[in-house]
């Protein structure tokens, strides 16, 4: 499903060349629930950007669904993000001007899905996260937990191969964190592949498989 | 369609800013439409005035008569022989002192022949115009304009009155209608003008001889002005040994053409100035779109992360700029319509009508669209070029 072979990523900070990822090797299989743990500055954001096709590696091979990603143009990367990956971010990243259902609808618009089909799938996704009653609300009218659920619905609506959650509970209190984690477990049970990135050991331990990252090096627990 | 709705929403989200940005386009469109329409309205009125100046006629000037001067007898002969020269009138003018008792003043004296009033479109209020016997007998008769009647005699009902012109007494046989709304009236307002038989003017003035140097050919029923002009040209060419430089004919239409040229240059000029203000409006749009793109960096990042391609983002922001421009354009045209209505009602007494020129409306719509595209392209491209990670992390 996901395969990283000797992936490297460098950043130039002043005169220093920082290795954000140093020959990272990783294999994630379909229907897995994997957490990636590391303190801030360990390179986990870089790893997530590469897995999420938001950035490309400087060296090494990244295979997503057996297709090498480095050969893709920007346009094709956008298409991969649109169809294969569902993002859940720490700060939700909803578009403030759009209502919950419009936020969920957006990736389908970019896929040129027909209007009636879009409406059906948006309704379905919102129902899955239990927010069908809040469909018309703007993000500012929703609580943090509800906003994150809208974000999860937006990730689900395209039926992606992979759900990539970057510190999904980072901005939430423990009770709502629990709700979101339960939701992720539920999604995993439904057969979704989930990659959870966190610095919180407690959260990380909920995943059956854990991967550590430190100073750009990836190790399995 | 989706992009259009999105554009409308984001314009609506910042109503004040959008309105101020559009103001530049609105004013530009208004300037363009109103100025060009005003010029066109004025042109119509001036062209009408030029046509009123004399009903269609050909002016013939003889520069070199080659020893065969044209005389009054020639003119009446040509008239008899050529049906297309149904109206032909000799013309000469001189400046003379006109006097009656204590009243006197300088008057423009025209020496002419009977057809002149019809050729020139003169309207007689009282009495009659000069007749054939008047010319044959060198009669001391005159047709005067209203200004001369009032200044010299004191009233216009003065047929039979005698006035002194250049030392001889002339009997008033006709008074012209006061002209108010023609171009001629504008130039000759308050001036004394009188018409006497051509033969009488030869006697009165030292400089006018029986050799006619200027005469008019009027439009004759059943013939076009061009046909009359050709006829007289042929006659004169054979008379003056095929020398085209010996005389010159000019028809009223040429004057109208020249007027048309002047006004079209004027409307291009004013349109150009208005177009500059439209471009300035376009720069305003570009400026605001740049700010918008920076402000919405995060939104762009989110859109890109969930799968919007460069082209999609480019199109979205381009659409916003174009919609902004077109809205401004529509409002500008609407306001112009109002202004033109207002202008027409203000000057309604002069009979001037300012109509919106459809050509300039189409031009301004196309122009606004192009401005939207041209000035929207650079901000939209800036948005499209953003890398999703950079945009996502912008401002936290």
Least confident piece of the model among A150-164, A196-210, B239-253: B239-253
pLDDT at residue number B181:
54
Q: Supply the pLDDT for residue B396.
A: 43
Q: If interface means Cβ-Cβ distance under 8 Å, which residues of chain A face chain B? A: 49, 52, 54-55, 74-75, 78-79, 81-83, 87, 89, 91, 93-97, 106-107, 109-111, 154, 158
Contact B306 A107 (CB under 8 A): yes
Considering CB atoms only, which of B2, B9, B307 is closest to A107?
B307
B99 touching chain A per CB within 8 A: no
Q: From the first residue on, what is the mean pLDDT of each consecutive set of 10 residues in chain B (396 residues)? A: 82 87 91 87 74 69 82 84 84 86 86 84 84 87 87 84 87 83 60 88 82 84 80 86 83 70 83 87 91 91 91 92 94 93 84 82 93 94 89 68
Q: Which residue, A195, A7, A183, A167, is CA-closest to A84? A: A195
For A130, the domain range is: 2-220
| Mean pLDDT across A186-201 | 91
CA distance B201 to B230: 29
Q: Which of B305, B315, B319, B384 to mutate to test the interface with A (most CBs of A within 10 A)?
A: B305
Provide, as residue numbers in chain A, all residues whose Cβ is less than 8 Å from the Cβ of B299: 95-97
Cβ of B10 under 8 Å from any chain A Cβ? yes
Say yes or no to pLDDT of A212 above 80: yes
CATH of the domain at A163: 3.40.50.300
What three-state secondary structure class fits A3?
strand
Q: Is the ipTM of this complex over 0.95?
A: no
- pLDDT exceeds cutoff 50 at A129: yes
* Residue B179 pLDDT: 67
> What total number of domains does chain A contain?
1
For the whole model, what pTM was predicted? Answer: 0.69
């Amino acid at each position: 499903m996901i395969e990283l072979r000797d992936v490297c990523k460098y950043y130039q900070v002043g005169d220093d060349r920082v290795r954000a990822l140093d020959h990272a090797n990783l294999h994630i299989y379909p229907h897995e629930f994997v957490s990636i743990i590391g303190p801030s500055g360990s390179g986990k954001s870089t790893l997530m950007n590469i897995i999420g096709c938001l950035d490309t590696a400087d060296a090494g091979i990244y295979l997503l669904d057996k297709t090498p990603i480095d050969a893709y143009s920007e346009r094709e990367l956008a298409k991969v993000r649109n169809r294969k990956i569902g993002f859940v971010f720490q700060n939700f990243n909803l578009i403030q001007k759009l209502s919950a259902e419009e936020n969920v609808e957006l990736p389908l618009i970019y896929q040129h899905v027909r209007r009636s089909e879009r409406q059906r799938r948006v309704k379905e996704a919102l129902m899955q996260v239990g927010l069908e009653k809040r469909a018309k609300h703007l993000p500012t009218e929703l609580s943090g937990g509800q906003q994150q659920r809208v974000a999860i619905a937006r990730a689900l609506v395209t039926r992606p191969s992979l759900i990539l959650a970057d510190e999904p509970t980072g901005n939430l209190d423990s009770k709502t964190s629990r709700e979101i984690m339960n939701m992720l477990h539920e999604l995993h049970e439904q057969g979704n592949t989930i990659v959870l990135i966190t610095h919180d050991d407690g959260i990380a331990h909920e995943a059956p498989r854990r991967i550590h990252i430190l100073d750009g090096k990836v190790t399995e627990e | 369609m989706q992009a259009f709705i999105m554009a409308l929403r984001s314009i609506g989200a910042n109503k004040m800013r959008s309105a101020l940005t559009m103001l530049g386009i609105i004013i530009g469109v208004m300037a363009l439409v109103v100025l060009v329409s005003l010029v066109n309205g004025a042109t119509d009125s001036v062209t009408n005035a030029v046509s009123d100046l004399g009903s269609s006629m050909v002016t013939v000037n003889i520069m070199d008569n080659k020893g065969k001067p044209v005389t009054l007898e020639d003119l009446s002969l040509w008239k008899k022989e050529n049906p297309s020269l149904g109206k032909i009138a000799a013309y000469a003018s001189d400046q003379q002192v006109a006097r009656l008792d204590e009243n006197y003043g300088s008057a423009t004296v025209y020496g002419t022949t009977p057809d002149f009033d019809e050729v020139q479109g003169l309207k007689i209020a009282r009495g009659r115009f000069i007749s054939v016997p008047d010319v044959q007998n060198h009669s001391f008769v005159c047709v005067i304009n209203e200004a001369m009647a009032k200044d010299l005699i004191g009233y216009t009902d003065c047929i039979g009155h005698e006035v002194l012109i250049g030392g001889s007494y002339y009997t008033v046989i006709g008074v012209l209608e006061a002209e108010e709304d023609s171009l001629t009236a504008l130039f000759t307002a308050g001036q004394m003008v009188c018409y006497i038989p051509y033969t009488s003017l030869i006697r009165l003035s030292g400089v006018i001889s029986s050799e006619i140097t200027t005469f008019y050919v009027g439009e004759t029923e059943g013939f076009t002005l061009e046909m009359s002009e050709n006829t007289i040209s042929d006659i004169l060419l054979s008379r003056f040994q095929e020398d085209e430089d010996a005389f010159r004919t000019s028809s009223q239409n040429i004057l109208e053409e020249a007027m048309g040229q002047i006004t079209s240059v004027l409307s291009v000029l004013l349109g150009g100035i208005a177009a500059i203000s439209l471009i300035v409006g376009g720069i305003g749009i570009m400026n605001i779109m740049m700010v918008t793109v920076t402000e919405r960096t995060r939104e762009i990042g989110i859109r890109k992360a969930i799968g919007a391609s460069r082209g999609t983002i480019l199109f979205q922001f381009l659409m916003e700029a174009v919609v902004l421009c077109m809205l401004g354009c529509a409002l500008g045209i609407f306001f112009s319509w109002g202004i033109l209505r207002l202008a027409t009602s203000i000057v309604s007494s002069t009979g001037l009508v300012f109509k919106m020129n459809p050509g300039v409306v189409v031009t301004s719509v196309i122009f606004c669209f192009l401005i939207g595209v041209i000035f929207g392209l650079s901000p939209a491209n800036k948005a499209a070029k953003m890398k999703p990670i950079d945009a996502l992390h912008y401002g936290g």
